[in-house]
Amino acid sequence: MKKVILIVMVIMVILSGCAGKSFTFRDASTVELGDSGKEVIRKMQGSPYMIKATTDKEGKIIEHYIYVFSNGMTGLTKSVSFILTDNKATSIPTITDSVLNQ
């Protein structure tokens, strides 16, 4: 019984140390200007951690797709975001070779 409790506690500690869904900058580098929201989600292999939506003065819908991952056990934290205007990517990050494998 003590082993079961110990195993459950270890699993809880491991799971509580993470926030967001893991992603790779390699996936993020495949997103291109003009991609639709569905294409961004497909290329990133999942939905963003948060979507912030606003409208501009002309009534166009501006969405910020924000991907965040944090691992409290290892200290790894990374984020990337894309801006979509009327469901088309209009701003994508520059991803350097030094971070592609993270």
How confident is the model over 47-79, as pLDDT tens digits?
999 999 999 999 999 999 999 998 878 888 899
Q: Where are the domains of the chain?
A: 18-99
The answer, as to whether pTM is greater than 0.75, is yes
Residue range 18-99, CATH number? 3.30.1450.10
How confident is the model over 18-48, as pLDDT tens digits?
677 889 899 999 999 999 999 999 999 999 9
How does DSSP assign 32-79, residue by residue?
A: -TT-BHHHHHHHTTS--SEEEEEE-TT--EEEEEEEEEEETTT--EEE
Higher pLDDT among residues 76 and 82, named by residue: 82
- pLDDT confidence of residue 16: 54
